[in-house]
A and B are shown apart, each in its own frame.
Chain A
Amino acid sequence: MELFTPDFGLVFWMFVAFILLFLALAKWGWPVIIKMMDSRATTIDQGVEDARQAKEQLDHAREEAQKYVLDAQARQQEMLREAAKMKSDIIEAARTEAQRAAQKEMDSAKIAIEQARKEAELQFRNEVGKFSIEIAEKMLRTKMSNDSAQTALVNKLLDEIEKN
């Protein structure tokens, strides 16, 4: 019945073996393993978390990019519209400017013409005066004798003037 009565030698060696094993493993074994397993677990958790965040960021970035694209398109539209407007404005301005310039030219031309006309009128009047004086002179000189002749002459001269 030695099985039920602990044998001193075996108890002694069991103590020795177990304590030595415990000390050795407690110093060089288990802490290393536990630390490694813990840190690996945290690394894996961290990795998963990072991946999740990265994915989130990626999704976010895609959204952002989409937003930028839309924004850019909107701006492009805006710019195009503005450009078109500017173009028409410029054309309009050019046109008014041209009109104004033409008007001015025309006005000055009119004034010049008016002036020329007035000068011509004045000159004509002077001419007419001169002619009248000449006619009167000629009439006086030539046909002062008879009245009919004088009248005929006057008529003839007036006709001539009218013809001119």
Chain B
Amino acid sequence: MFKRINKSLTGANRARHSLRTVLLALLALVFLCPQNAMANEEKKDLDVKEIIFEHLGDGYGWEVPFAHVYRIPLPVIVRAEDGKWFCFSSADLTEVIITRNEETGKDHKELEPVIKTIERDSKTYRFLIAHVSSHKDKVVQIFDLTPEEEKTVSTELAKASGNDSNSPRIIDGYVYYDGKYYREYRPLDISITKNVAALFIASFLVTLLVMCLVRFYRKNGFKAPRKGMGFFEMLVGFVYYDTIKATLGAKAPKFAPYLLTAFFFILIMNLIGLVVIFPGGANLTGNIAVTLVLAICTFVVTNINGNKHYWKEIFWPDVPLFLKFPLPIMQVIEVFGMFTKPAALCVRLFANMMGGHMIVITLTLLIFIFAAFGAAVAGAATVVSVLFSIFMLLLDVLVSFIQAYVFTMLSTIFISMSVADHEAHEAKAHDKVDQQVKTEN
């Protein structure tokens, strides 16, 4: 099989890589591969939702590039039920099980969860990545069932009997593992997961970029940087002069560090999220926890810097009295507005980035969905899906930048609304009116 693929590829080389031959080779690859896969493995139903959420979600290990089952181990840090902290490698929680298919002689590898047992102070602590549980794919501490709990579990199971009994049932507070139910406790979990590691990488990259530029300045004084650093400096200038300074004016230097940090952090996170393999691959800004923290930061910065006028607008706005006095209608709306602004920031970034990733994954999955309809359809679907995926990824690069910019711009506007010097403005306006009156007289 591989020989045939190689032949078609070398054929393509000979034909000077013309687009047509490359496409043909791609088609040939596609025609051959699904048959290959179907021949070797027992066919499984494709759980699209599962695959999408696996790719978008977090994980305790980081997939080794191009080796689906192997994971780069990361530290797991959890606080057990009795308040003790544990730190161990995520590799201890999984195991790669290799089964040999006797007919074809090929290995099939599967990543399976295993129980991590730790002895401390003559007590045994057991941890497991839950699969059949309400805390799916999270580390839980497990305990053997007491007789009472045993009863509860069996009554729960009895309720569900009659349904398909093949797949184990999820019971709240219990985890099913290897033919047995355990009581589960979800520990306080501050593990360095894939997303956290990616966060650190992103922070490191942002620091590196900024410090490179700072070092360049220290070294070269007034010389303008060229190429990469020049591009970075152009971005800084774009965000600082055209957005922050244009909106905040004299107050720009005070808030610029926060806004610039947010912009570049988001941008780098967005971009490394688009890279498929190791240093990237983590869907950071498409995770609501990350965008939530960013939005909270903007909320905090906006409100702790809010001046008298800002608070007056919220608690005693300039509206007819009946709208604010016996019933505080306007106050309720304004206070609600305080929270909806950062919430919108949070959801906007999250939804945009997650949407982009989801579309790309779905387009890729189309290939496997169409594989069921035979080689020709699958081949055509592949070409279409690859082209669309590339288009979507390019679009996502644009979206990455736009969303980072939109977040920064809106944060700037919110901050400027809370610190704006309204009294000065009003005084100016009054002066103008006075002058006009005088001139008219």
Contact = CB atoms under 8 A, between A and B. Distances in A.
Do A and B interact?
A: yes
B338 interface: no
A25 interface: yes
Contact of B240 (A11, A37, A43): A37
A131 interface: no
B200 A17 contact: yes
B137 A43 contact: no
A10 B195 contact: yes
A147 B344 CA distance: 180
Given A10-B289, A21-B203, A3 B217 contact: no
Interface stretch (A26-34, A63-71, A77-85, A111-119): A26-34
Contact of B190 (A9, A20, A21, A22): A9
A13 B211 CA distance: 22
B288 A4 contact: yes
Given A26-B261, A37-B240, A40-B224, 12 more contacts: A2-B53, A6-B287, A8-B189, A13-B190, A18-B294, A21-B203, A25-B206, A25-B207, A32-B214, A33-B236, A36-B222, A39-B222
A6 B214 contact: no
Given A3-B56, A17-B199, A21-B261, A34 B292 contact: no
A22 B260 CA distance: 9
A97 B351 CA distance: 118
Contacts of B240: 34, 37
A79 B202 CA distance: 85
B189 A9 contact: yes
Contacts of B56: 3
A18 B222 CA distance: 30
Given A20-B203, A21-B203, A21-B265, A7 B289 contact: yes
A43 B191 CA distance: 50
B359 interface: no
A143 B351 CA distance: 182
A30 B207 contact: no
B266 to A, nearest CB: 10
B210 A25 contact: yes
Contacts of A4: 288
Nearest to B264: A25
A25 B207 CA distance: 7
Contacts of B206: 21, 25
Contacts of A29: 207, 210-211, 214, 257
A84 to B, nearest CB: 63
B92 interface: no
A8 B188 contact: yes
A124 interface: no
A4 B354 CA distance: 11
B236 A3 contact: no
B253 interface: yes
- A-B pairs, 9 with minimum CB distance: A26-B257, A6-B289, A29-B210, A10-B289, A14-B293, A13-B196, A30-B257, A9-B190, A21-B203
A13 B260 CA distance: 20
B289 A11 contact: yes
Contacts of A6: 287-289, 292
Q: Is the interface of B mostly helix, strand, loop or mixed?
A: helix
Contacts of B190: 8-9, 12-13
Contacts of A30: 210, 256-257, 260-261
Contacts of B195: 10
A18 B217 contact: no
Contacts of B258: 22, 26
A7 B233 CA distance: 35
Quick one: which of B136, B253, B293 has the most chain A CB within 10 A?
B293
Contacts of B224: 40
Nearest to B200: A17
B212 to A, nearest CB: 10
B237 A28 contact: no
B193 interface: yes
B365 interface: no
A24 interface: yes
A19 B422 CA distance: 31
B290 interface: yes
Interface string A53-81: 00000000000000000000000000000
B289 A14 contact: yes
B390 to A, nearest CB: 25
Quick one: which of B224, B237, B260 has the most chain A CB within 10 A?
B260
B199 A13 contact: yes
A3 B199 contact: no
A3 B288 contact: yes
A118 B191 CA distance: 156
Contacts of B237: 37
A12 B137 CA distance: 19
A82 to B, nearest CB: 59
Contact of A17 (B188, B203, B211, B292): B203
A36 B53 CA distance: 45
Interface in B245-289: 253, 256-258, 260-261, 265, 286-289
Nearest to B206: A21
Quick one: which of B196, B236, B240 has the most chain A CB within 10 A?
B196
Contact of B193 (A10, A15, A17, A28): A10
